[in-house]
Amino acid sequence: MIYIDKLEYEKIVEQAKNEFPHECCGYLSGSISGEDIFIKEIYPLINIDKSSEHFSMDPKEQFNALKSIRNAGLKIIGNYHSHPYSPSRPSEEDKRLAFDTKILYGILSLEKPEHVFNLFKIDKDKNVEKLNYTIK
């Protein structure tokens, strides 16, 4: 099972709202215990593309986030971004750019008033698997 810390989930939603109409992005970090994945902390990053249709993370910020994650004794669980005007599913570009088959990909849709957040695994053939999670 995948567990997302409630306050961290709320931070993703807040970041997406604040950066609207652009996509927001960041890292999901936490720990893994057996079959369970715990997303304990997010690391918001700047979308240097300032676009509503794609994102690019600032390399310097990525490096600093990775350092902080390691120093906190956590692991990169995945990354996340928002879709300001489209559903919470990987776009063709998202699939094309999903190089790491071991991490999770989170997408928050702001398309409708009831925001939708989904987590996905994307394999080397670009097949997408939607994953279940619980917010705690």
pLDDT tens string 113-131: 999 999 999 999 999 999 9
Report d(CA 78, CA 94) in Å as an integer: 13
**Strands, sheet with 134-135, edge to edge from the N-terminal-most edge strand:** 128-131, 116-122, 104-109, 75-83, 25-33, 36-45, 2-4, 134-135
Three-point CA angle 90, 42, 3, nearest 5°? 75
Structural domain boundaries enclosing 54? 2-135
For residue 35, what is the domain's CATH number? Answer: 3.40.140.10
- What's residue 50's pLDDT? 94
**Tokens 């409708």, residue?**
112
Report the relative pairing of strands 2-4 and 134-135 from DSSP bridges: parallel
- The mean per-residue pLDDT over the stretch 9-34 comes to 98
Q: How many domains does the chain have?
A: 1
Average pLDDT score over residue span 97-108:
97
- pLDDT for 99: 94
Query: What residue has token string 């079959």?
Result: 35
pTM of the model: 0.96
